């Protein structure tokens, strides 16, 4: 099979993206369950685990820490992002250019598009520039496809999530990152709507090991290409143990029971 732009942050067509932009998106509250993880160094160390195919961070963390880890992990540079202090209609500024992302060693870029927001038009235009700039620098493109705002009644509705995946496909993303739409059938419909764009599941807020792994297993069985996960890894007391289990489920097709028995 020919290499694709998604291969830059995948292995054998599967991706486990360690997302760590929460300090910007949610604030210090996300570090409370595991206070050491406020130190980015601790999370970059987790990204050296064999299961992790890329770490997703904003420009500031990439500048400060990625030079020490570039041999161990691929970089997915998140290009936009906003704080939880913003109270307006969903929107997010572009914080980095494709040229600058490439100069930091990014293998791929990430971009949040809030379909259904009153700001969707401007965000889609920004995505066009990011996407074409990424292509100029041979970087993959991941869309955080998050319907949200005045046009969206229920952002976790299965048809809404399938639509989000389709938007990512139509606009040229290599990977669409979506919330789990609630059932294997809905996930497989989301994957179908994404066409040749790979679909990864968003980790979401922390749940227990069994429930989290079951959701990941069900997403993989429905055709997802992996996941992008933050809190369900770094908020755990033993993040390495859940990465070990995820490696089995995502890359080796293990069941939740098998992964938990290891
Ligand atoms: P989680 O696995 O912790 O949900 O992280 C994935 C992610 O997309 C992060 O990149 C981002 O900070 C966060 O979720 C945004 O979540 P939301 O906008 O739903 O609060």
pTM assigned to the model: 0.96
Encoding tokens for residue 154? Answer: 């229920």
Q: Which residue is closest in CA terms to ligand 1's atom 15?
A: 25
Catalytic machinery residues: 177
Q: Which pLDDT belongs to residue 30?
A: 98
13 Cα: distance to centroid of ligand 1 (angstroms): 22
1 Cα: distance to centroid of ligand 1 (angstroms): 32
List, for residues 216-258, the tens digit of each pLDDT value: 999 999 999 999 999 999 999 999 999 999 999 999 999 999 9
Torsion angle of alpha carbons 72, 199, 112, 157, nearest 10°? -140
Instruction: Give the residue from 103, 121, 13 showing the smallest Cα distance to 62.
Output: 103
Is the minimum distance from the CB of 231 to ligand 1 under 6 angstroms? yes
Identify the CATH assignment for 5-261 out of 3.30.420.40, 1.10.3720.10, 3.20.20.70, 3.40.50.80: 3.20.20.70
Q: How confident is the model at residue 161 (pLDDT cuts 50, 70, 90)?
A: very high
Q: Which pLDDT belongs to residue 2?
A: 55
Mutate which of 29, 230, 231, 233 for ligand 1? The one with the most ligand atoms within 8 Å of its CB, which is 230
> Exposed/middle/buried for 85, CB within 10 Å: 0-12, 13-18, 19+?
exposed
Instruction: Specify the ligand 1 atom closest to the Cα of 112.
Output: 8
Q: Which pLDDT belongs to residue 4?
A: 73
Mutate which of 202, 215, 224 for ligand 1? The one with the most ligand atoms within 8 Å of its CB, which is 202
Q: Which pLDDT belongs to residue 245?
A: 98
Pairing of the two strands 198-202 and 108-113: unpaired
Mean pLDDT, the chain, integer: 97
Pairing of the two strands 140-145 and 198-202: unpaired
2 Cα: distance to centroid of ligand 1 (angstroms): 31
Is the minimum distance from the CB of 82 to ligand 1 under 6 angstroms? no
ipTM > 0.85?
A: yes
Q: Which pLDDT belongs to residue 5?
A: 79
List, for residues 22-63, the tens digit of each pLDDT value: 999 999 999 999 999 999 999 999 999 999 999 999 999 999
Q: How confident is the model at residue 1 (pLDDT cuts 50, 70, 90)?
A: low
Instruction: Specify the ligand 1 atom closest to the Cα of 203.
Output: 2
111 strand-pairing partners: 143
List, for residues 58-86, the tens digit of each pLDDT value: 999 999 999 999 999 899 999 999 999 99
Is the minimum distance from the CB of 92 to ligand 1 under 6 angstroms? no
21 Cα: distance to centroid of ligand 1 (angstroms): 8
Tokens 């990430």 -> residue: 110
């Amino acid at each position: 099979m020919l290499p694709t732009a998604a291969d830059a942050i995948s292995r054998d067509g599967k991706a486990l993206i360690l997302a760590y932009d929460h300090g910007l998106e949610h604030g210090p509250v996300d570090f409370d369950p595991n206070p050491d993880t406020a130190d980015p160094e601790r999370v970059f160390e987790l990204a050296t685990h064999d299961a992790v195919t890329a770490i997703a961070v904003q420009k500031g963390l990439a500048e400060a820490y990625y030079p020490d880890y570039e041999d161990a992990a691929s970089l997915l540079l998140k290009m936009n992002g906003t704080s939880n202090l913003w109270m307006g209609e969903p929107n997010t500024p572009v914080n980095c250019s494709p040229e600058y992302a490439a100069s930091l060693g990014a293998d791929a870029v990430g971009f949040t598009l809030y379909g259904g927001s009153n700001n969707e038009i401007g965000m889609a235009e920004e995505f066009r520039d990011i996407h074409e700039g990424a292509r100029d620098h041979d970087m993959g493109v991941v869309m955080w496809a998050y319907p949200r705002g005045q046009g969206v009644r229920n952002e976790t509705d299965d048809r809404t999530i399938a639509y989000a995946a389709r938007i990512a496909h139509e606009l040229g993303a290599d990977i669409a990152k979506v919330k789990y739409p609630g059932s294997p059938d809905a996930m497989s419909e989301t994957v179908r709507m994404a066409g040749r764009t790979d679909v990864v599941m968003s980790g979401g807020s922390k749940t227990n090991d069994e429930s989290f792994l079951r959701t990941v297993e069900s997403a993989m069985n429905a055709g997802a290409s992996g996941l992008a996960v933050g809190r369900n890894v770094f908020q755990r007391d033993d993040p390495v143990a859940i990465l070990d289990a995820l490696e089995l489920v995502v890359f080796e097709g293990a069941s939740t029971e098998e992964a938990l028995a290891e």
